Amino acid sequence: MNEQVLKRPRPLLEPTSALLARRLRRLRRGSLELRFGNGSREFIRGEAAGPHADLRIARPASLLARLAAKSDIGFAEAYFAGDWGTDDLFALLQLFALNESAFGTSTGGLFAPLERLLHLMRRNTRRGSRRNIEAHYDIGNDFYGLWLDSTWSYSSARFAYPDEGLVPAQRRKYRQHLDALEAQPGEHILEIGCGWGSFAIEAAQRGLRVTGITLSPAQLEHGTRRVREAGLDHLIELKLLDYRDLEGQFDHVVSIEMFEAVGEPYWGQYFDTVARVLRPGGRASLQVITIDDTYFARYRTSADFIQRHVFPGGMLPSTRAFTRSATAAGLYTHFPDAFGADYARTLAEWSRRVTLHHDAIRALGYDRRFLRLWQYYLAYCHAGFATGRIDVVQAVLMHA
């Protein structure tokens, strides 16, 4: 008598899961392992090579509803809520970024006009700027201190070696800005957006005077303490001040990843201010995150995950848009370098540190949703730099 081999039937997908699977089958590059809560699995392979990722969908109906309502913002919010998970968040977001054209636009959804309106309501007026900056930077120095390196640098490092750590790479970044200025000991530098005092300390150690301004009381408090402890308060003055309220002139200007918080309606005011406070013959060195010109037109008329949940009022320029605004203020712009790969590496290290300090972050009182938001934010940016959608440049400006 022949023995029959019984095979366990493959679980059928419920309607919402089937709709999600159908959309994901549009994948063109890379591969995706799709897993559902009922045990069903599907392996999707694109026609072209690319990264591999997995996606575990725990609540398909909730995920589908969020996607329909808010598209990419909804996908992020579904992750915060636990509707889906993955073993490698960066790999998944990189895969989706590479397949954006196959899946459809990254912005949209039924609530897209509302999201855009909410973004526009967070305009960077003097009062709005302070509120927007505090929403990100004043969430707790103890939190940032757990995963930033000892220089307290919250911007892209500049790596020279494959196994180089963050501290020497961050200090190299500051030295490259000083070199671009051709700054000499005794000269006075204005830093617009001084953070926790990292650049100011590096510059003062080279004999330069620095005035740094910020809109974050938390950054000002910690930065001032670091300056005092370093014994450099005779060379460094940090202030709580809006860039539009600056007076006087300076030998040079530095601004490291602050321009992204200015907002497009205020780019003209920003460059007019730089032109006004920069002495004739002086230089400004800016580090700016840019978005590829291919995406800029659509990006500037919508709201994305970063603007909604991380940097209210923020806006990335394209290099062309940046140059146009600077030129209108009478400033000549030179871009000596772009180093998106360095930012991808910096973000990978930050992500590793946030995950490493998961328990310590929770012990400070931050909840699971907050932690998942930050994990998503860092991986989202990492994927943007890794795929070339966004880049980071050093821009040197002089009076034309």
Architecture of domain 119-399: 3-Layer(aba) Sandwich (3.40)
Residue 312 has pLDDT above 90, yes or no: no
**CB atoms < 10 A from the CB of 84, how many?**
20
What pLDDT, on a 0 to 100 scale, did the predictor assign at position 109?
55
Whole-Å CA distances, 371 to 81, 143, 188, 321, 356: 11, 11, 40, 34, 12
CA-to-CA distance for 175 and 381, rounded, in angstroms? 25
What pLDDT, on a 0 to 100 scale, did the predictor assign at position 70?
86
What pLDDT, on a 0 to 100 scale, did the predictor assign at position 105?
52
What pLDDT, on a 0 to 100 scale, did the predictor assign at position 17?
83
User: Which range has the worst mean pLDDT, 10-19, 46-55, 165-174, 177-186?
Assistant: 10-19
Amino acid at site 176: Q
Retrieve residue 155's tokens: 């911007």
Residue 82 has pLDDT above 90, yes or no: yes
pLDDT in tens, 170-208: 999 999 999 999 999 999 999 999 999 999 999 999 999
DSSP state of 363: H
User: Which range has the worst mean pLDDT, 42-46, 116-120, 254-258, 370-374?
Assistant: 116-120
Residue spans of the domains in the chain: they are 15-110, 119-399
Question: Reading across the β-sheet that carries 48-57, which strands appear in turn?
Answer: 41-45, 29-36, 48-57, 84-85
pLDDT mean over 118-137: 76
Catalytic residue among 181, 315, 381, 393: 381
CA-to-CA distance for 144 and 78, rounded, in angstroms? 25
**Residues forming a β-bridge with 395:** 286
Residue 393 has pLDDT above 80, yes or no: yes
Question: Reading across the β-sheet that carries 236-240, which strands appear in turn?
Answer: 236-240, 209-214, 188-192, 250-256, 278-291, 390-399, 331-338
What pLDDT, on a 0 to 100 scale, did the predictor assign at position 111?
46
What pLDDT, on a 0 to 100 scale, did the predictor assign at position 325?
98
CB 180 within 8 A of CB 151: no
Residue 8 has pLDDT above 50, yes or no: no
In the block, which residue shows the tokens 């095979």?
A: 7
> Which of 399, 390, 400 lies closest to 338, judged by CA?
390
Supply the DSSP string of 225-291, one letter for each residue: HHHHHTT-TTTEEEEE--GGG--S-EEEEEEES-GGGT-GGGHHHHHHHHHHHEEEEEEEEEEEEEE
> Which of 353, 248, 262, 272 lies closest to 315, judged by CA?
262
Q: Is 363 exposed, middle or buried (0-12, 13-18, 19+ CB in 10 A)?
A: exposed
pLDDT in tens, 128-176: 788 878 888 889 999 999 999 999 999 999 999 999 999 999 999 999 9
Chain CA centroid to CA 244, Å: 24
pLDDT in tens, 265-295: 999 999 999 999 999 999 999 999 999 999 8
**CB atoms < 10 A from the CB of 355, how many?**
15
pLDDT mean over 42-52: 94
Asked if 381 is an active-site residue, the reply is yes
User: Which range has the worst mean pLDDT, 1-5, 106-110, 169-173, 299-303?
Assistant: 1-5
Helix (H) or strand (E) holding 83: none
Residue 1 has pLDDT above 70, yes or no: no
> Please, what is the average pLDDT of the chain?
91
Q: How confident is the model at residue 40 (pLDDT cuts 50, 70, 90)?
A: confident
Residue 5 has pLDDT above 50, yes or no: no
CB 42 within 8 A of CB 19: no
CB 391 within 8 A of CB 102: no
Nearest 5°: CA angle at 392, between 391 and 395?
A: 130
What pLDDT, on a 0 to 100 scale, did the predictor assign at position 20?
86
Residue 120 has pLDDT above 80, yes or no: no
What pLDDT, on a 0 to 100 scale, did the predictor assign at position 130?
81
